[in-house]
A and B are shown apart, each in its own frame.
Chain A
Amino acid sequence: MQTAERTLKDHSRDLTISRGPVDVPFLMLTLLLLGVGVVMVLSASYASAYYDLSKETGGNATYYFTRQLVFALVGVAVMLAASRVPLKLYSRFSLWVLGAAVVLLAAVLVIGSAGGGGTRWILVGGISIQPSEIAKIGVILSFATLICRYGNLMGTFKYGVAPFAAILGVIVVLLFLEPHLSASIIIILVGAVMLFIGGARLFWFIGGLAGVGGLFLVAITVLQYSSERISAWLDPFGDPSDTGYQIVQSLYAIGSGGLFGLGLGQSRQKYLYLPEEHNDFIFSIISEELGFVGAGLILLIFALLVVRGYWIAMHSRDRYSFLVCTGITSLLALQVILNVAVCTNLVPCTGISLPFFSYGGSALLVQLGEAGIILSVSRDIPVTRAVKKRRPESVKSKQTLSEPS
């Protein structure tokens, strides 16, 4: 027992001292997406910044771009810093992060600033942050910690479901009060993913799915704005000037892009037709300018990044790293998938930003920080591990390797 503890301590010391290099493919894919994303913010936001619809740019066409660029550079630094922080440390502070997120979520209801249909932002030192973003990573980190702690007890309701459901319940209630539907969806999904890989029994998911479905049905029938979204989703051209406006304009942008697009910077829909063109609907502008080839390529890069994220997770050194890495990768994947699905009207319209692309400094920082955590995980993968191919073996060898020699 003591040996085991010692081993862990020694092990973590080892890690801090002699960790491997970051995973180059993941880093490169991230930087590639970030670079393209910043450029696309320039292109997409040009018109609205020039016309200054939000009354904050002062007509400076590169206003959003400059800010996004600064945040991207800071974000890269954050990412690299995060990649140097050992997972043990994340684990240690994971519940604090969650606690802070809950406090902030409660605070935002009191001191938050409104925007986009809800009270979602807190201004801290000139930077507005979304507590929901912190809640997402908080859920991942804390769930991973709890899952590790409960171990085989995850199969029980008492350990494997109840505490997690309670945490999610608190967060979702707070988010509903803002209200912030899209963040609720993401957090519930991410929480579900964590429980799924954490070993919760599958029938809880079936039950949970039914419960959540019922909940949404109630929400939709109760909340007028949601049912409007549903009808706009089913028939956007039914009311193209009002409820269907945003999605119709998005479809115009995507559809008119064609195979090769109108060319970088040549979007027409960005000229005040498509709202949120540099935020939630930036992918529509990308599709318009770069066409099916360009947009498809970006989707492919995202897919590669996601696959690489899971690959890192599955090769990660320990269970905690595995859980965190899978959680973050899934969070990234869910945001991308849902964002693109909204832009292409596969799912009803809801405000989910596209990671690395959508304008928004604090979100970008958080996303890059999350990528940094994955990179941190990747650093613990011994070089030799890369050639190991089968899971059962890798599990074994992991155990072998973790033994003190």
Chain B
Amino acid sequence: MPDKRQKLNFPDTPNAMMLRRALFLLIVCGIVAFLVLGLRLFKLQVLDHGFYETAAIENQIRKTTVTAARGTIYDTNMKILAMSASVDNIYISPAEIKLYEEDATLIAQGLSEILGVDYETILARAADTESWYQTIARKVEPEVSDQVRAFKNTHDLKGIKLEEDSKRYYPYGSLAAQVIGFVGTENAGLYGIEHYDDDILSGVNGRIVRAKNAAGTDMLFTSFEDYYDAEDGQDIVLSIDSTIQYYMEKHLEQAVRDYDVQNGAAAIAMDVTTGEILAMVSLGSFDLNDYQMVAPEIQALIDAEQDEEKRAELLSEAQGKQWRNKAINDTYEPGSTFKILTLSMALNEGSVSLNDSFYCGGSVPVEGRDPVKCWKSPPGHGAQTLTQALQHSCNVAFVDIGMRVGAEKFYDYCEAFGFFDAAVDPDDQLTGKTGIDLGGEAGSLWWPANKFENPNNKTQLAAASFGQTFTITPLQLITAVSACTNGGYLMKPYIVREVRNSDGSVYARTEPTVVRQVISEETSRTVRAMLEQVVGDKNEGTGKNAYVAGYRIGGKTGTSTNTVLEAQTGEKEYIVSFVGVAPIDDPKIAVLVLLDCPGSTGVYISGGQMGAPTVGKMFADILPYMGKEPQYTEQELQTVDKTVPELTGMTAAEAGAKAESSGLTFRVIGTSAAVTAQIPAANSVVAAGSQVILYCGAEPSAALETVPDLTDLSYSVARQQLGAYALYIRASGPLTDPAAVRVTGQNIAAGTAAAHGTVIEVTVADKSDLGRY
């Protein structure tokens, strides 16, 4: 036992146990622990490196998208139909507003003034201080975003951000709206060409990947930045000719108004020889620049609805309807226009000849169903040649022609015309498409082979002979009719003529594709001659209302009932249509017009009374535009509308002589020697024989006249009546015999006030021989 004092003093050395314990500490704290830490580091840095690296990079970088410039859509003449321009999205970063201690109320104040966004809304978004991104306004035009930029810079506000975006502009508004389509907020094509060729148009977005610090600003001294260049989208040149498109839309809209068309209308213009789509119209239309907006009368109906859910439903229904391209998205029973095809196959097969005679007693018995009635029943058309049967659109004769062709041949031709693709199983429903380069093309619906070719039941064959009980798209019909008139070649329709690179060079060009030759050149020639008789024969042609003075036009009317609807509800809804081809001696353009469910307006519901005049008016505009000079006959020279010459400044005598030589009459008001004013204005087009008023010193009256109702008046009587009010008339379209054709529509409604000299454009039609043809 050592002395206690000594113990309290410094013992000289640590004892053995102490050293042992120190060695233990050395091993634990100096070696083992560090080995454990080393292993842990090895796991984190070497074994799990990939995971943490990826996660860290995700953590550190901010990606900025560089939007590729979307391609332009041109019409065939390089007019811009759709283009993109740079705009800005405005957003705020509440986290940075907090970080830099910026005044949120100032920001809200400024932005709400510039952008018109609610002050409280902005303030509420700014309150979410966890967020780095709160959108305030999207696709802001450069003039406005410049103001935002200025505001941001003036107050040095880091919390306000601008982000480049692009906006789509459609210079023609509603022109060819369903064909062109539109893009959504994310610049993705949603409808039409914008959707179908989205890959071509959109290009490839670029990216800027930047390392950012946790505050979201660029890191210091770090070159960690990657650019991925944006690849601009390619341009698309459509075969659509915006002028033709415009004419067609104008006349189709007029038809929809005149005939109170309920379910919309469609029209297609096709280059007969190539299958190019020159125009494609679907009504009711909409403005591509504001594609959500529906027509005001529809909006009024929606607003009248009380229930909010119902309102939203109605709106989306209306939008879906206006965005549909009726020319290809919907199918219908074509009716009598299909007789062109029945005729073509019969002629091509030699089943009928021009000299054959067809008797129509009003109806014809058909195996397996009630007798088929002709539209003119009683008494029927009596004995008629093949041409007359077509001119008359005689169902009885065409059932006969169909029977002569026979179900199997008839079926083969329908397949050859592209109405369906053959199926392996003869019991299958058949369907087919043209394969046009547009989205959403509907498929046709045809009877299964076994049903159609049933020898004991000719119901389908009989009805198909005049175009009922199967459905096809309008595009399929016009494509087949083009084949019948272009020498027999079924073309694959197309609407994209070229794809161009952003530097303007041509990347791809669509060449016309012959799918197959269906009928011979000779048969086609015969069909053309017969179609001209349908339009050109003022006495017997059911398509005479499509006639345009000075031009050779062939065509066929169609009035079909929706047989499915009729079977279900007993309601009779008509689709009236007309397909015309011009010039029929050397076909260039085919035009199909389809009016779905015209209302009761006093105009007889039929393709002949509604479809034919509409196509005629279209041709009257389109053919001169295409450079086709009218070749008038002597008689036509007398009756076609005249252009009023410039008469002011001449002497009264000279002016009178000039007016008369122009096919007009005149009267003089006033006593001066010289003409000081004239009504109507020079270069107005008015009916032949209209009376020009020459003012010699007298002032024309500024009084307004009330436009009278001209409906059902003959063209010449209407001209005289209007003359009494110093109003004038012109016919847009076919004018065969001014004394015989009747006014069926006018562009200035009855009761409207109009100034002297106003020219009222009327639709005229020959109303003799009315029928559902």
Q: Which residues of A contact B (CB under 8 A)?
A: 1, 4-5, 8, 46-47, 50-51, 91, 148-153, 193, 196-199, 249, 251-259, 265-266, 268-269, 271-273, 287, 291-292, 295-296, 299-300, 302-303, 306-307, 309-311, 313-314, 316-320, 322-323, 326, 329-330, 333-334, 337, 340-341, 344, 346, 391-392, 395, 398-399, 402
**Cβ of A402 and Cβ of B12 under 8 Å apart?**
yes
Is B5's beta carbon under 8 Å from chain A? yes
Interface residue tally for chain B (C-beta within 8 Å): 57
**Cβ of A314 and Cβ of B19 under 8 Å apart?**
yes
Selecting from B52-60, B337-345, B608-616, the interface stretch reads B52-60
**Cβ of B45 and Cβ of A287 under 8 Å apart?**
yes
Residue among B8, B13, B60 having the largest count of chain A Cβ atoms under 10 Å: B13
Is B26's beta carbon under 8 Å from chain A? yes
Q: Which residue of B lies closest to A305 (CB)?
A: B30
Which residues of chain B from 1 to 50 have a CB within 8 Å of any chain A CB?
Answer: 2-3, 5-23, 25-26, 29-31, 33-34, 36-38, 40-42, 44-46, 48-49
List of B residues within 8 angstroms of A51 by Cβ: 213, 215
**Cβ of A340 and Cβ of B26 under 8 Å apart?**
no
**CB of B355, distance to nearest CB on chain A (Å):** 91
**Cβ of B34 and Cβ of A302 under 8 Å apart?**
yes
The list of the 9 closest CB pairs from A to B, nearest first, reads: A255-B52, A271-B213, A272-B214, A151-B7, A310-B26, A333-B29, A256-B56, A252-B56, A292-B45
List of B residues within 8 angstroms of A273 by Cβ: 59-60, 213-214
- With contacts A197-B21, A258-B53 known, what are 11 further pairs, Cβ within 8 A? A151-B2, A151-B7, A152-B7, A199-B21, A249-B59, A254-B41, A255-B55, A258-B49, A296-B41, A317-B13, A395-B13
**CB of A245, distance to nearest CB on chain B (Å):** 10
List of A residues within 8 angstroms of B34 by Cβ: 299-300, 302-303, 306, 337
Query: Which of A1, A268, A295, A399 interacts with B219 by CB under 8 Å?
Result: A268
Given A307-B31, A344-B44, the answer on whether A255 and B26 have CB atoms closer than 8 Å is no
List of B residues within 8 angstroms of A316 by Cβ: 14
**CB of B358, distance to nearest CB on chain A (Å):** 85
CA distance A249 to B10 in the complex (A): 50
Q: List 26 A-B contacts (CB under 8 A).
A: A149-B7, A150-B8, A197-B22, A197-B25, A249-B59, A254-B52, A255-B48, A256-B53, A258-B53, A268-B211, A268-B222, A271-B214, A271-B222, A273-B59, A292-B42, A300-B38, A306-B29, A310-B26, A319-B13, A322-B22, A323-B14, A323-B18, A337-B37, A340-B37, A346-B36, A346-B37
List of A residues within 8 angstroms of B212 by Cβ: 271
Interface string of B124-137 (1 = CB under 8 A from A): 00000000000000
Query: Which of A266, A306, A395 interacts with B19 by CB under 8 Å?
Result: A395
**CB of B15, distance to nearest CB on chain A (Å):** 7
CA distance A46 to B213 in the complex (A): 13
Which residues of chain B from 203 to 254 have a CB within 8 Å of any chain A CB?
Answer: 211-215, 219-222, 224
**Cβ of B16 and Cβ of A272 under 8 Å apart?**
no
Given A5-B9, A255-B53, A303-B31, the answer on whether A322 and B46 have CB atoms closer than 8 Å is no
Query: Which of B7, B52, B57 interacts with A251 by CB under 8 Å?
Result: B52
Q: Which residue of A lies closest to B60 (CB)?
A: A268
**Cβ of B41 and Cβ of A295 under 8 Å apart?**
yes
CA distance A307 to B35 in the complex (A): 13
Q: Which residues of B contact A (CB under 8 A)?
A: 2-3, 5-23, 25-26, 29-31, 33-34, 36-38, 40-42, 44-46, 48-49, 51-53, 55-57, 59-60, 211-215, 219-222, 224
Given A50-B220, A252-B59, A318-B10, the answer on whether A337 and B29 have CB atoms closer than 8 Å is yes
**Cβ of B3 and Cβ of A252 under 8 Å apart?**
no
Query: Which of A150, A268, A295, A314 interacts with B56 by CB under 8 Å?
Result: A268
List of A residues within 8 angstroms of B16 by Cβ: 391-392, 395
Query: Which of B13, B56, B220 interacts with A269 by CB under 8 Å?
Result: B56
List of A residues within 8 angstroms of B56 by Cβ: 252-253, 255-256, 268-269
Q: Which residue of B lies closest to A397 (CB)?
A: B13
Given A252-B55, A395-B13, the answer on whether A326 and B22 have CB atoms closer than 8 Å is yes
Residue among A259, A272, A399 having the largest count of chain B Cβ atoms under 10 Å: A272
CA distance A329 to B27 in the complex (A): 13
Given A8-B9, A254-B41, A299-B41, the answer on whether A310 and B30 have CB atoms closer than 8 Å is yes
List of A residues within 8 angstroms of B11 by Cβ: 148, 151, 318-319
**CB of B225, distance to nearest CB on chain A (Å):** 12
Query: Which of B30, B213, B221, B224 interacts with A303 by CB under 8 Å?
Result: B30
List of B residues within 8 angstroms of A326 by Cβ: 22, 25
Q: Which residue of A lies closest to B42 (CB)?
A: A292
Residue among A268, A303, A395 having the largest count of chain B Cβ atoms under 10 Å: A268
CA distance A50 to B221 in the complex (A): 12
Q: Which residue of B lies closest to A196 (CB)?
A: B21
SS of A interface (majority):
helix
CA distance A46 to B222 in the complex (A): 13
**Cβ of A330 and Cβ of B211 under 8 Å apart?**
no
CA distance A340 to B33 in the complex (A): 10
**CB of B548, distance to nearest CB on chain A (Å):** 74
CA distance A320 to B224 in the complex (A): 56
**CB of B222, distance to nearest CB on chain A (Å):** 7
**Cβ of A322 and Cβ of B52 under 8 Å apart?**
no
**Cβ of B10 and Cβ of A148 under 8 Å apart?**
yes
CA distance A347 to B37 in the complex (A): 11
CA distance A105 to B374 in the complex (A): 115
Q: Which residue of B lies closest to A304 (CB)?
A: B30
List of A residues within 8 angstroms of B6 by Cβ: 1, 4
CA distance A266 to B16 in the complex (A): 50
**CB of A329, distance to nearest CB on chain B (Å):** 8
**Cβ of A299 and Cβ of B15 under 8 Å apart?**
no
**Cβ of A319 and Cβ of B12 under 8 Å apart?**
yes
Q: Which residue of A lies closest to B49 (CB)?
A: A258
List of A residues within 8 angstroms of B46 by Cβ: 258-259, 292
CA distance A326 to B19 in the complex (A): 10
**Cβ of B219 and Cβ of A314 under 8 Å apart?**
no
Q: Which residue of A lies closest to B212 (CB)?
A: A271
Query: Which of A47, A265, A306 interacts with B30 by CB under 8 Å?
Result: A306
CA distance A296 to B37 in the complex (A): 9
**CB of A59, distance to nearest CB on chain B (Å):** 12
CA distance A4 to B2 in the complex (A): 13
**Cβ of B44 and Cβ of A319 under 8 Å apart?**
no
CA distance A314 to B34 in the complex (A): 20
**Cβ of B9 and Cβ of A4 under 8 Å apart?**
yes
CA distance A253 to B48 in the complex (A): 12
**CB of A17, distance to nearest CB on chain B (Å):** 18
**Cβ of B3 and Cβ of A1 under 8 Å apart?**
yes
List of B residues within 8 angstroms of A292 by Cβ: 41-42, 45-46
**CB of B76, distance to nearest CB on chain A (Å):** 55
**CB of B4, distance to nearest CB on chain A (Å):** 9
CA distance A252 to B9 in the complex (A): 54
**CB of B2, distance to nearest CB on chain A (Å):** 7
List of B residues within 8 angstroms of A311 by Cβ: 26
Q: Which residue of B lies closest to A5 (CB)?
A: B9
Q: Which residue of B lies closest to A325 (CB)?
A: B22
CA distance A252 to B59 in the complex (A): 9
CA distance A47 to B21 in the complex (A): 45
Residue among A46, A50, A251 having the largest count of chain B Cβ atoms under 10 Å: A251
Q: Which residue of A lies closest to B17 (CB)?
A: A199
Query: Which of A4, A272, A309, A318 interacts with B13 by CB under 8 Å?
Result: A318
**CB of B214, distance to nearest CB on chain A (Å):** 4
**CB of B662, distance to nearest CB on chain A (Å):** 85
Given A259-B49, A314-B22, the answer on whether A322 and B14 have CB atoms closer than 8 Å is yes
CA distance A318 to B15 in the complex (A): 10
CA distance A98 to B7 in the complex (A): 22
**CB of A327, distance to nearest CB on chain B (Å):** 10
**Cβ of A344 and Cβ of B19 under 8 Å apart?**
no
Query: Which of A265, A322, A329 interacts with B18 by CB under 8 Å?
Result: A322
List of B residues within 8 angstroms of A151 by Cβ: 2, 7-8, 11
List of B residues within 8 angstroms of A266 by Cβ: 222
CA distance A402 to B31 in the complex (A): 32
